[in-house]
Structure 1
Amino acid sequence: MGENLVGRLSSEMFFIDRADRRSLQMQLTSSIVSTILEARTRSGTRMPSTRQLADHLGISRLTVTLVYQDLVAQGYLDSAPRSGFVVSQKVPHRRIGREDVLSFSQPVDWGRWLKQDLTARRRIAKPLDWRSYPYPFLYGQADPTLFDHAAWRDCARRALGAREFTDLADERMAMDDPVLVDFICRNTLPRRGIRARPEEVLITLGAQNGIWLAVQLLARKDRVAVMEDPGFPDFAATFQFAQMPIHYVPCTDEGLEPSSLPHDTGLVAVTPSHSIPTGTTMPIHKRRELLTMADKHDFLVIEDDYEFEMSFLEPPSPALKSLDGAGRVIYIGSFSKALFPGLRIGYVVGPAPFIEQARALRAMMLRHAPGHMQRVTGYFLALGHYDAHIVRLREAFRQRRETLTHALEKTPFRIAGAARHGGSSLWIEAPEDVDSAAFAERLAVNGVLIEHGRPFFADPPNPCPFFRLGYSSIAEEKIEAGVKIMTRVLSSGIGGQPKDSV
């Protein structure tokens, strides 16, 4: 098609999608560039007139004109006198023709090459189109109405300045953005009772990346990994990938019980301020007991201190790391929960020798988190926008939690766990004959999304009546109606058997 294409490109070759969230200008630009490159359009080929293309697509002629002018500046089009716009001789690159592909009779046996089936791990599943559901009780998702988009754009604009760009464009040799690291050391960590120097902080792609780095560096096959049950399933998956045996400790009303640790413990993964998923808080005396045992039996602790900012009921307890006088706690934090999950900016705090090795391991994978995103986040924090955002979140979540709690009072559902300081979710128990996985399926058909509890257990009860209700992503005015639907679906009977896999 491309080699024989001369004269003029037809308007029918270009399209836009009204359901696409991108701007019309961005869609049209992408469509034109793709057509020119994929069809290997000859230079001098005329484009449809701005009027023709606007009429065909049903958009403003000004939009088409602006797109054409932008593509002239980029070198894809030329403005020809009395001929409108034509494909430029300076098109950045053209696709080469595809050579004949060699075929072989022996297919690759990927089951033999891949040592583990990572897709089989227990994980928390959420539909990508969750925003299309009217009652999304999902944890960890952001409500865009609570976010200051103008402030974020201003910080992004600052980070795109000429002076900033030169700094961020250079190879940083695995070092992190000093603006972001400085704020973490001076503001974020002191709020948790932690004192750390820049060489004791590493920026990661979210908390999960920090957990993976820590486990990969510290895992020992001759020592046991310990975690809460129910607990964060990605802790278990990370330990399993590192081929470290796991010992599950039941999560009590005071969180992980230190006296239940086996004698050969090597690593303990714990969420002391807000247990996943129950919200249980470990008392200070239990934290001291855990650290005393770590010193006595020579093991290390990975502390995931997620969501401590959501403390609208009472101040959060000091971080476990703040009590650590021996450097045995590796502290994991993240800004993704408080800002938005797609941010993927977290951090690890630990002794300088550990951070040095973690930085080297991270450099083997990705050098460092994108510098521009680090700088934008750093400005958002340093200019006070983050603190103002947290104030908005706390007030909104306080109201939503109160509404959700009241809505559940006259239902068969029991609040089995809730963060003492606040948080953004409740751990719920349905009647004992209900399996939350089957219940979640029935609710989704009725527009309600919940997170069933099976992925959080190493060996879930059968049936498993527990599930998590998040309130960060659902508007307050929809909470009561969503709970009514839950009650109605429950009263109509669940039926079915729990799934064998999650």
Structure 2
Amino acid sequence: MAISVENFFLDSRSQATLQSRIQQMIAQGILSGRLRRGEKLPSSRKLAAHLGVSRITVTLAYTELVASDYLTARGRSGYYVSENAPEPLPAATLHTAQDRVDWTRAIGQKFTGGATPDKPKDWARYRYPFIYGQADASLFDHANWRLCALQALGQKDFAALTSDQYDQDDPQLVEFIARHTLPRRGVVAEPSQILVTMGAQNALWLAAQVLLTQRRRAAIEDPCYHALRDVLTQSRCHLTPVPVDADGLPPDLIPDGTDVIFTTPSHQSPSSATMPLARRHALLERARQMEALIVEDDYEFEMAFLRKPSPALKSLDEDGRVIYVGSFSKSLFPGLRLGYLVGSAPFIREARALRASVLRHPPGLMQRAAAYFLSLGHYDALIRRTSQAFAERRQVMEAAMAKHGLTIAGRGAHGGSSFWMQAPEGVDTEVLAARLRDRDVLVEPGRPFFAAEDPPRNFYRLAYSSIPAERIPEGVARIAAAIG
């Protein structure tokens, strides 16, 4: 690959000759790793014009670098970084500009230090990845997604692809959500009540920013989705974790004075508990008594392969107090980053204005490609295929866990993609997870899901969304052996 001439700048403070400064500039680029072996340097004429020096000066500098094996000359092709050039130096040894800012004082608000764990980027190389939230390439409809993406890139959709829509969304995607996705959950909404987001997490962040202040109180499930707790902690609101039971969030444990209730009734995260219909009505009544709002994260409702999903809270809401969060990122693929908020028009108006001030709108190409994939029926076919595969994997996993005596702490009554597990007392699942990595197995420790300063350490999550059914028995056997 050719290195752009714009990457080169001379040190104006140096007292050395021009030729030496050019040599030093290129050598430092190689030692820092910016210029890599085999890459082509600009021609002597182009670099000379860019730096404002004579061509012979650049040629002499190149010649010296060839002599010291930093560069190699290839006939009439030009100069390249030599395959024998020195290895880049460790970052700690490189000279960088000194940072004299006292960042402990300069930073007004910290966003680091949350509970959200780092997930392995190389999860796919593990043979037994019981990892949650990743796409299974063997199930995804690559061919039709590619066709939809190409269709979105066509001239007919040029405006949808390239225009700055400011605070608006792709009308085709919004129409599909309003006419097809939401009615399946019993929800009726106008386009003015729908906002497309960069995934469910962005939707939760927008809801928190619009609804909460430092004086307001939010109630969350405990354990809960760790990224949501991070978002609410950063909002500086008063935060009350409410312990969940086998049916999800107990309404009678929500304290008086709560302004916003965050819940995952379809598949409680991470326990997978499904909130019964009677409790859903009780939760709505409790919110009505307190004049509180409810933010319903309805993730994984599509993965109801055991029985039909329960009605969404939003569909039972007669007061307009439920804000609904949906996502296509989990059901299609995480990198898509497309979700949506559904709520009363005044709330959506404020959320839209906030989104516009941060990122305008999600990329037009992704919105239009997703709209085609959904409207042409490919999405429904993908959900059916995925549900069938998940049902098989769940059955195999349950049998394997029963065989090896592993304890299931929570399982989705309607389906889902994971089990919430409990190891014996005294087992630290973070230590367990590290041990299992060496045995080609990935599991998710449960500690980050809990709000307590000293949370239980013997819970963990096992997902079957990214592991073939034939590998599950051996993977579960390795987990059981590691627990001992």
Give the superposition deviation at 1:114: 2.2
Aligned counterpart, 1:354? 347
Q: Which deviations, in whole Å up to 9, do the C-alpha atoms of 1:444-466 show, x marking residues without a partner?
A: 11111000000000127665211
**CA contact 1:279–1:426 (8 Å) conserved in 2:** yes
The correspondence for 1:291, drawn from 284, 291, 296, is 284
Aligned counterpart, 1:365? 358
Aligned counterpart, 2:299? 306
The correspondence for 1:274, drawn from 267, 276, 285, is 267
Is 1:447 paired with 2:440? yes
**CA contact 1:249–1:256 (8 Å) conserved in 2:** yes
Is 1:196 paired with 2:181? no
Distance in 2 (alpha carbons) for counterparts of 1:305 and 1:487? 32
Aligned counterpart, 1:178? 171
Aligned counterpart, 2:481? 488
Distance in 1 (alpha carbons) for counterparts of 2:483 and 2:426? 11
The correspondence for 1:123, drawn from 116, 120, 136, is 116
Q: Which amino acid counterpart does residue 186 of structure 2 have in structure 1?
A: G
Give the superposition deviation at 1:311: 0.8
RMSD, aligned α-carbons: 2.7
TM normalised by structure 1 equals 0.78
Aligned counterpart, 1:388? 381
Q: Which amino acid counterpart does residue 284 of structure 2 have in structure 1?
A: L
Identity %: 48
Is 1:479 paired with 2:472? yes
Larger deviation, residues 362-371 vs 472-481: 472-481
Distance in 2 (alpha carbons) for counterparts of 1:142 and 1:237? 24
Give the superposition deviation at 1:231: 0.8
Instruction: Report the secondary structure of 1:144's partner residue.
Output: coil
Give the superposition deviation at 1:116: 3.8
Q: Which amino acid counterpart does residue 161 of structure 1 have in structure 2?
A: G
Distance in 2 (alpha carbons) for counterparts of 1:294 and 1:283? 17
Would you identify which runs of 4 or more consecutive aligned residues in structure 1 move more than 3 Å?
A: 1-5, 34-43, 83-87, 101-104, 460-463
Q: Which deviations, in whole Å up to 9, do the C-alpha atoms of 1:353-373 show, x marking residues without a partner?
A: 111111100000010000010
**CA contact 1:176–1:368 (8 Å) conserved in 2:** yes
Distance in 1 (alpha carbons) for counterparts of 2:339 and 2:156? 26
Aligned counterpart, 1:498? none
TM normalised by structure 2 equals 0.81
Aligned counterpart, 1:333? 326
Q: Which deviations, in whole Å up to 9, do the C-alpha atoms of 1:106-134 show, x marking residues without a partner?
A: 81122222234322111133111111111
**CA contact 2:160–2:170 (8 Å) conserved in 1:** no
Distance in 2 (alpha carbons) for counterparts of 1:221 and 1:197? 32
Distance in 2 (alpha carbons) for counterparts of 1:167 and 1:86? 43
Give the superposition deviation at 1:37: 9.9
Distance in 1 (alpha carbons) for counterparts of 2:210 and 2:388? 40
The correspondence for 2:139, drawn from 146, 150, 153, is 146
Distance in 1 (alpha carbons) for counterparts of 2:319 and 2:358? 29
Give the superposition deviation at 1:437: 1.0
Distance in 1 (alpha carbons) for counterparts of 2:292 and 2:360? 29
Q: Which amino acid counterpart does residue 438 of structure 2 have in structure 1?
A: V
**CA contact 1:454–1:460 (8 Å) conserved in 2:** no
Change (3 A) 1:135 1:185: same
Distance in 2 (alpha carbons) for counterparts of 1:398 and 1:154? 28
Give the superposition deviation at 1:232: 0.9
Aligned counterpart, 2:394? 401
